[in-house]
Structure 1
Amino acid sequence: MAIRWRGPFPWLAGAFVANAAAVILAARALAAAPLTGDSLTALTLVALAGAALLFVVAWKVIDALVMRTLRRMATEVRAIAYGGDRPGLDPAAYAMLSPLPEAVNEICARMMRAKTELASGLATATRRAEDNAQRLAAILNDLQEGVVVCTQRHELVLYNTVAFDLLGPTADLGLGRSLFETLAREPVVRTIERLGADPDGGGRGVPFLVGTVEGRLLLQARMSLIRAGGGALAGYVVTLVDAAPQLASLSGREALRREIAAGIEAPLERIAAALADAPAVEAACHAAGQALRRAVAGYDRLLAGWWPSGDLLSTDLLSDVRDRLDTAPAVTVVGLPVWLHAEPYSLTLALEDLVRHVAAHTGAGAFDLSAGRDGEAAWIEIRWPTGPSLPAVAMERWLDLTLAALGGLTARALLPAGPNGEGGPACGADEAGGGWVRLPVEPARASGARSGPPLPARPEFHDLGLLELPRDTGDLGTRPLKSLDFVVFDTETTGLAPSQGDRIVSIAGVRIVNGRILSGESFSRVIHPGRPIPPESVRFHGITDAMVQDKPPARVVLPQFRAYVAGAVMVAHNAAFDLKFLEVETAGSAVRFDGPVLDTMILSDFLDGPDAGHSLDAICARYGIPLTDRHTALGDAMATAAVLLCQLDALEGRGILTLDQAARSLDLARVLHERQRVL
């Protein structure tokens, strides 16, 4: 390979030659005289001095001509990497480092080509995205409906000009802002829950009504969910239309219907009364009146069918009414949940207005809201314990009042009517004081229960030592049973063997106070069990691994449930099963569930005898208690609460009035129950 006489090589060669010459000259000078120790020492010193000089010269040459050049080159390479369109280095400026500059220039050339190709690709993609965005904007802005797209955290990511014009006067729309700055929260959240529970996943979307936060507008809306690749909720799309024109049209038609009915029915009644001695005329007037009532009832059914209704749980609806009323007047949601079919937002507004109307008319300050169902009839009941009842005239007057929040429609337009107008709203007085109002509601068109064959009951758990009473009854032991607060609870689990690693996936409870089930103050949580949920368990409770993915573990939820239970007697069906899981989950922590516990299964054995069925289904069938959402923690807790109230009445009939008396009676019942199981 040919030596290039450039760079540091000539300098190093010259230093080496000078050092060698100095050593040779010193050696020749010393060789001319006799060789002594001093002459050898001098020669050594000369050689060392020459080597040191050579090292210093070499270091300076390399630092000046190589290292500094490399640092300068590194600076230029960085400038090329982060700078503009500079093609590369000048090889002549770094001749001593050749061929390194040429290699760097090759890299720079490839980098520039890649950058050019990337810029071209980005420009093409940007043009396509802009074209698509312009097309989408043109499509969205050409729609007659307002469109908003939100994340799962309800933050706006897109809206069209129609939505801006529609909602702009309510709040300043802006990307990243919460939808609930503009629209009421409850209808949106309830619709998301409804779509999330739909096996179709909300692909078709569902209609609903929603109002703006200040009540300026009532909007017809339709929601569809946006799901990520794994099926998780990524966001949702809502289309919006001002409902005022349609409501005004409906209100006008309803007013015309009332005018026609009032203008014809009253004269017919007067004719029938005046011609009571003419049977044929009276019969004709009666038939005409019946036909008119059928027509009015049919019109009311058609009017009620306009509302975008769906199946909903009564406790959700009544809890929204309670939240809107806040504390004036005070409202408590009581009783078992019932599946209804209604448009929740408009019915919530109507119920809120009715409670305020009754409070103003009667002076009552506290109300109980509940729902019920009997065969094909369902209703919502408002009850107040003190004060006068509501006269039927006042009830009818309210039904015919126009509600501003519903665009001038009356509350009567929301309510279903029977074939001939029967089964309408009713009101009355309680013998003990106070009164009640009952509004008919259409029952759910689906039962709310899961489809498929009936599931077997949970096997009986026999660690009855967990139920030994008294479990520190304290002052509660001598109090009447009906004066105690109870928390009826239930759990759903990954399996039936806590000692083999099965864990809780859901826990729920409901309080009973003064003999009332406070269904609006229930506790319900889904728990991450820390292990996969077997398919055979999912078949029972419907909770999948995807549903618990983002849920808190038991160590977070159980302290919250312990605070909810505080001061109350715990109740469960087959309670030993649930207590064993609580014991396993709280092992090693400061959380303890060591208060008194009642078991409705043991109570059933004590009250109804060993030959009666003691599963929850059998007891509910015996007492005529409807089951809603069976094999869910909250649904089973509600049913068990209703069972407990029946059993408390039965205990009172047997002279068992206090918790300590119940403990002594149930101790014997547990022993007999265990013997029967063994035999």
Structure 2
Amino acid sequence: MPVKWRGPFPWLAAAFAVNVVVIVTAGAMLSRGPLVSESFTALILVTLAGAATLFAVSWKIIDFLVMRSICKMAAEVRAIAYGGERSGIDPERFAMISPLPEAVNEICARMVRARSDLAAGLSAATRRSEENSNRLAAILNDLHEGVLVCNQRHQLVLYNEVAFDQLRATAELGLGRSLFETLSREPVVHIFDRLCGHLDRSARGVPFLAGTVDDRMLFQARMSLVRTGAGPVTGYVVTLVDAAPQLAGLAGRAELLREAAQTIEAPLARIAAAASEAPQTHRDCLDVSRSVRRLTEGYDRLLSSWWPMADIVSTELLSFVCSRLNGDISATVIGLPVWLHGDSHSLVLAIETLVRRTAEQVGIAAVDLSAGADEEAGWVEFSWVGEMIELADLERWLGRPLSALGGITLRDVLLHHAGATPDMRRTHSGGAVRLPVPKAIEQRRHDRPALPARPEFHDLALLEQARETGALGSRPLKSLSFVVFDTETTGLQPSQGDRIVSIAGVRIVNGRILSGESFNRVVNPGRPIPVESIRFHGITDATVKDKPPAEVVLPQFRAYIADSVLVAHNAAFDLKFLRMNERAIGLSFDNPVLDTMILSSYLDGPEAGHSLDVICERYGIVITDRHTALGDAMVTAAVLLCQIDALEGRGIVTLDQAVKTLDIIRILHDRQRVL
């Protein structure tokens, strides 16, 4: 590139020339006479003075003509970057720093084109968004249901005109405003927490009842989560249908039907008694009475089908009750989980209300919550230690309205669920109230085709430490605290690299399964999970991707079991995986261990079959969520309680006796395998 002789170059050349002239002149003058030290020193000083002068002049020239040019160019580039109308700078104004201006102009040109393309893209996207929004608004406004879309902070981000008209009597809707200015907080938060805790069940949404904050209106609502694919939850959608007119009409018809039935039954009974000598008339009266009863029961069932209900596992339902009691009353969830069908929010309110009324009436501070089901129906029960309540008190409580449900009474909630009222009974230490609840209507995982049982795993060395019972050995089995646990793994070969992918445990205290105090963790195994293992437990690589490793989870499990007796089915298999990690976590799993598989061999004989499925079928234990760590731990806990009763029947009542019996059975079993 040709040098442009302007700017700092002439000045630098002049300064250099002056410096050279001064030095040459000084040298020439000194050469005329003898070279003495003073003359040499003078020459050095003159040279240094010339160099310093040249540096100072050069610095000033560069600062004035180069650095200031760069600062001016930087200001112009910033103006272009922040939206100025110019598309570049004038290179002639910054010739001293060429070719930097040309490079900056290239960048500016690309930036301007990118900005133009971005503006065009945004404009097109905005038009498409507006078209979609208008189309969505038209669709939403054409719906008969009110639609509310909220973010995770429960702020409105979208609603249709139907919802606006439905809720305007309570409060004006507005974007960014809280949903709880119009709808009651409790049912919305309850269903949202439930859906967030079970994302796999959130696709179809969950129905529920929601009232306005002023109790003027009651809605049949349904909530669905808003999320992109498997991404995080960003909000939720609630649809609303005014339930008050329909509910009032149904309730009115039900009351008229019951009144008519009661009016007919008494005369029919008198006619039947008077017509005892006329068999045909007597039979006709009985047929009419049965028809009226079937009619009222059938109408109650139809009425309950209107109620917004969904399947829910009992432990989850009862855990919500515990959280609502908020420590005012100590509530313990016990027993095996069962699948029920109902409106979880109204059921939680009903159970909580009855528990609080009972506690106030008889002065109790703790209750046990449980659930169960038989071939006919399911139920939820709370029991306590203390005095019984009076039937008249229960009837009075059932007639009280629930403000959170728009004035619906407790009796309405129970009748709409199962068409029946609570059943009171006396226990050996207190009382219990059982609330009928329908069983789940969907097929659950335990109904899927049976998978082969886990192979028996034998390693006597693993159980050496389990024989050290210490102070627990002399205690009765029923007085001990047990932790029944199970693991799901990448495979069946722990010594060849298979690892834990899930571990769960449940406590047994005083003969009660504390299902509300369970331990359940998914573990990242640090290796791919084979397809043949996923077939059993359903845990995939995507499931464990963001989960903690065993080095984090197992210390938590060790703290959970504390000094309890460990119990597992085919315990040597699960213990092997725990013991392999002892060095890595710096802890040992040296608790006493009982194995329900070996206990089964002792109690029922080697020919009876000792897989978990076979034992549960033998004892009549319903299996829920088979081949999940928590599900298998729950049913193993139920098996253990049955086996403890059977052991006591054979005179084995202490832990030492049980461990010694297991030792003998293990040795005999191993000898049979060798033979």
Deviation at 1:97, TM superposition (A): 5.3
Secondary structure of 1:454's counterpart equals coil
Q: Any idea what the Cα deviations from partners look like across 1:295-330, whole Å, max 9, x if unmatched?
A: 111101111111232322222223333433445554
d(CA) in 2 for partners of 1:333, 1:317: 10
User: TM (normalized to structure 1)?
Assistant: 0.84
The percent identity for this pair of structures is 59
Residues 216-261 of structure 1, C-alpha deviations (whole Å, 9 max, x = no match): 8754222334443556655543323453343333322222222222
Q: Which residue in 2 is equivalent to 1:496?
A: 492
Find the counterpart in structure 2 of residue 420 from structure 1: none
Cross-structure match for 2:558? 562
Q: 1:182 aligns with which of 173, 182, 185?
A: 185
Superposition pairs of residues 476-625 of structure 1, within 5 angstroms: 476-625=472-621
Q: Distance in 2 between matches of 1:45 and 1:402?
A: 109
Superposed displacement of residue 476, structure 1: 1.7
Alignment correspondent of 1:309: 309
Structure 2 gaps of 5+ residues are none
Q: Name the structure 2 match of 1:626.
A: 622
Q: Kindly tell me: are residues 216 and 559 of structure 1, through their superposed partners in 2, closer, same or farther at Cα, counting changes over 3 Å?
A: farther
Query: For the Cα contact (< 8 Å) 1:183–1:213, is it kept in 2?
Result: no
Q: Are the aligned partners of 2:184 and 2:210 in contact in 1 as well (CA < 8 Å)?
A: no
- Is structure 2 residue 240 aligned with structure 1 residue 240? yes
Q: 1:517 corresponds to which letter in structure 2?
A: I
Deviation at 1:455, TM superposition (A): 0.7
User: Hey, what's the Cα distance between the residues in 2 that align with 1:368 and 1:41?
Assistant: 108
- Check whether the contact 2:524–2:547 (CA below 8 A) recurs between aligned residues: yes
**Are the aligned partners of 1:427 and 1:435 in contact in 2 as well (CA < 8 Å)?**
yes
Deviation at 1:18, TM superposition (A): 5.1
Q: Which residue of 2 aligns with 1:673?
A: 669
Kindly indicate whether residue 632 of structure 2 is the aligned counterpart of residue 636 of structure 1: yes
| 1:16-72 superposed Cα distances (whole Å, 9 cap, x missing partner) | 5556666777788899x7x86579979977994796366655554444433443444
Equivalence for 1:299: 299
Structure-2 separation of matches of 1:468 and 1:50: 93
Assess if the C-alpha contact under 8 Å between 2:91 and 2:98 holds in 1: yes
The answer (yes or no) to whether the contact 1:507–1:525 under 8 Å persists in 2 is yes
Residue 416 of structure 1 corresponds to 418
Partner Cα separation in structure 2 for residue 366 and residue 412 of structure 1: 23
User: Does the 8 A contact of 2:520 with 2:630 survive in 1?
Assistant: yes
Q: Could you tell me how far 1:87 is from its partner in structure 2?
A: 5.2
1:258 aligns to 2:258 (yes or no)? yes
In the comparison of the two structures, how many residue pairs are matched? 665
Give, as a single letter, the amino acid of the residue that structure 2 aligns with 1:605: S
CA distance in 1, matches of 2:168, 2:598: 58
Deviation at 1:83, TM superposition (A): 6.2
2:445 alignment counterpart:
449
CA contact (8 A) 2:379 2:435 kept: yes
Report the equivalent of 1:660: 656
One-letter code of the match for 1:186? H
Task: Tell me what 1:197 maps to.
Answer: 200
Could you tell me how far apart the structure 2 residues matched to 1:506 and 1:618 are?
23
* 2:268 aligned counterpart, secondary structure: helix
Contact 2:307 2:417 in 1 (8 A): no
Query: Equivalents in 1 of 2:25, 2:382: separation in Å?
Result: 123
Whether contact under 8 Å (1:339, 1:447) holds in the other structure is no
1:642 and 1:667 map into 2 onto residues whose CA distance is 23
Counterparts of 1:322 and 1:642, CA distance in 2 = 22
Task: Quote the residue 2:157 is aligned against.
Answer: 158
Question: 8 Å contact 1:380–1:439 — kept in the other structure?
Answer: yes
Answer yes or no: is 1:344 the counterpart of 2:348.
no
Q: Which amino acid aligns with 1:374?
A: D
Cα distance change of structure 1 residues 465 and 242 upon mapping to structure 2, 3 Å threshold? farther
Contact 2:26/2:43 (<8 A) preserved:
no
Q: Which residue of 2 aligns with 1:321?
A: 321
Deviation at 1:671, TM superposition (A): 1.3
Q: SS of the counterpart of 1:6?
A: coil
In structure 2, the residue corresponding to 1:269 is in which secondary structure?
A: helix
Question: Counterparts of 1:319-468 in structure 2 under 5 Å?
Answer: 319-327=319-327, 330-356=330-356, 366-388=366-388, 391=391, 405-406=404-405, 407-408=407-408, 410-416=412-418, 426-430=423-427, 432=428, 434-449=430-445, 452-468=448-464
- Separation of aligned partners in 1, 2:246 and 2:50: 104
TM-score, structure 2 as length reference: 0.84
2:450 aligns to what SS in structure 1? Answer: coil
User: Distance between the aligned counterparts of 1:24 and 1:531, measured in 2?
Assistant: 81
Is contact 2:554–2:585 with CA below 8 Å preserved after alignment?
no
- Could you tell me which amino acid in structure 1 is paired with residue 635 of structure 2? A
Distance verdict in 2 for CA 1:19–1:227, change over 3 Å: closer
Counterparts in 2 of 1:81 and 1:377: CA distance versus 1, 3 Å: closer
SS of 1:478's partner is coil
Q: Which range moved further: 42-51 or 667-676? A: 42-51
Shift of 1:399: 6.2
**Residue type at the aligned position of 1:494:** T
Q: Distance in 2 between matches of 1:7 and 1:447?
A: 88
1:473 aligned residue (445, 463, 469)? 469
State which drifts further: 112-121 or 612-621: 112-121
What residue identity is the alignment partner of 1:188?
Answer: F
Aligned-pair CA distance for 1:293: 0.7
Q: Which shows bigger deviation, 447-456 or 351-360?
A: 351-360
Query: 1:111-148 CA distances to partner (integer Å, 9 max, x unpaired)?
Result: 44543443444345445545544654565567554444
Question: In 2, are the aligned partners of 1:219 and 1:242 still within 8 Å (CA)?
Answer: yes
Residue 294 of structure 2 aligns with an amino acid whose one-letter code is R
